[in-house]
Amino acid sequence: MAPKIYTRTGDTGDTGLFGGGRVSKGDLRVEAYGTVDELNAALGWAASKVNEQEIKGHIETVQDDLFVIGADLATSPPTELRPQPKVPILDKSRIGEMESWIDAADDELPGLTAFVLPGGSEGAAALHMARTICRRAERAVVRLGTQEDVIDDVIPYLNRLSDLLFTLARLENHRAGISDREWSSPDG
């Protein structure tokens, strides 16, 4: 018989961390890995909406990375009685790889002359939504980093990822023949 999905151990408002220990569900660590999980779910939704296979491939790579980041964030800090459990390690070359994806897309896209409003195709709109969640995840990790150690590459990774998602949203629209909707000031 398969184990049940519910354990009831969090019914009092706390949760277990990977490697042991329990914290409040309102803890900064839980907020950080929970927001990364939300970003991963938003990217799964975006992947179901985009038409471009290249963009879907980038999303799938990022989703794997986010699972690694989430696992690290969900791991309790080691103590004398509780050693650090083995967790996957974020590929340090991924930030540079994302930059190359951004550069390749920028080579294809018209130059930016104004602020771009989220929207366009369903895929682009979903990527813009994921981008805003990415920024929230970044803020949550920064807050956590003021109180506890966070692996070095997580904040730069999330920062670059939001740039990538913005660029991929524009690319999805461009390849669909949909122009970016540019913001115009009410002042003209």
Write out pLDDT tens, residues 28-75.
Answer: 999 999 999 999 999 999 999 999 999 999 999 999 999 999 999 998
Q: Residue 130: inside a domain, yes or no?
A: yes
Better-scored residue on pLDDT, 106 or 187 = 106
Q: Residue 97: inside a domain, yes or no?
A: no
Instruction: For residue 18, count other CB atoms closer than 10 A to its CB.
Output: 15
Span 136-154, average pLDDT: 94
Q: Residue 29: inside a domain, yes or no?
A: yes
Q: Is the pLDDT of residue 121 over 70?
A: yes
Instruction: For residue 73, count other CB atoms closer than 10 A to its CB.
Output: 28
Q: Residue 58: inside a domain, yes or no?
A: yes
Q: Residue 137: inside a domain, yes or no?
A: yes
Q: What is the mean pLDDT of the chain?
A: 91
| CATH code, domain with 153 | 1.20.1200.10
Interval 10-25: pLDDT, tens: 887 888 877 778 877 8
Domain count, the chain: 1
Q: What angle do CA 97, 126, 133 make, to 5 degrees?
A: 70
Instruction: For residue 149, count other CB atoms closer than 10 A to its CB.
Output: 8
Q: Residue 1: inside a domain, yes or no?
A: no
Indicate the pLDDT class of residue 164, thresholds 50, 70 and 90. Answer: very high
Instruction: Give the range of the structural domain holding residue 45, as residue numbers without chain letter.
Output: 24-75+117-177
Instruction: For residue 15, count other CB atoms closer than 10 A to its CB.
Output: 18
